[in-house]
Structure 1
């Protein structure tokens, strides 16, 4: 049923819960797992015109991505099943990059946390998960995590 499962990660508790569900599904269906972290260079609360500032934001995002993806690799290594893992760092608007990646890699299912951002950022920028569901034509399994309230 599922051969390739995509799990976008961002380091949040909801993202970690999505990884756990993804590993369970991958074991059950003998599916490959694709874990991606999107460095958000497509949306900013403030308009940034200086290239140096954008480069700094990109570098910080890539450092965060490496740590988050290492955690996913560790969880896959701890799993009882033999799961093939592909990791990638993308750059741009998260919802657009996730959908493009899914299309380019023949992803059968996207497993996402219900939200990663909280508070004002979530209200101003919206939910990446909501936009992936609304704009995509691929099945999306949403996973809640521990309450942030």
Structure 2
């Protein structure tokens, strides 16, 4: 198996951080990089109109979380991006489809996601998408 990019979707939860660590281990074993995709959940944007989200607050939270992943990465290169897991305007946009779209965009060869459900935390977005990702991903998926 040839792996160049491991996609590790995260949402700020302990479970997604643990899954990202597995992604780092896979990337290290295959001399690959990790792309950490911070997925912003519906709970973070509930009740807000478009444009009301404080992008600086979201950026600060996602950057701090990605920095934690980078601190654990050792020599593994880590790239990052941020996306919204839900959309009131697009019913087809949910965490699972967002993760798979991102996997295609970054040309990921392997995905690592936390098992569902773990925390039951309403802000934990990724655990809601795991089953979808496992069912529809064209890449190998490790669920931890």
**Could you list the runs of 5+ residues in structure 2 that have no partner in the other structure?**
86-93
Report whether the alignment pairs 1:66 with 2:59. Answer: no
Q: Name the structure 2 match of 1:84.
A: 77
Q: Secondary structure at the match of 2:3?
A: coil
Q: 1-side partners of 2:119 and 2:55: how far apart? A: 21
Residue in 2 aligned with 1:119?
120
Structure-2 residue corresponding to 1:146? none
Bigger proportion of residues as helix: 1
Structure 1 residues 56, 137: CA separation in 2 closer, same or farther (over 3 Å shift)? same
Rg larger for: 1
Match of 1:3 in 2: 4
d(CA) in 1 for partners of 2:115 and 2:29?
A: 23
Question: How many Å apart are 1:17 and its aligned residue?
Answer: 1.6
Unaligned runs of 5+ in 1: 144-149
Preserved CA contact (<8 Å) 1:39 1:62: no
Q: Distance in 1 between matches of 2:5 and 2:98?
A: 17
TM-score by length of 2: 0.75
Q: What secondary structure, in the 3-state scheme, does the structure 2 residue paired with 1:83 have?
A: coil
Superposed CA RMSD in Å reads 2.8
TM-score by length of 1: 0.72
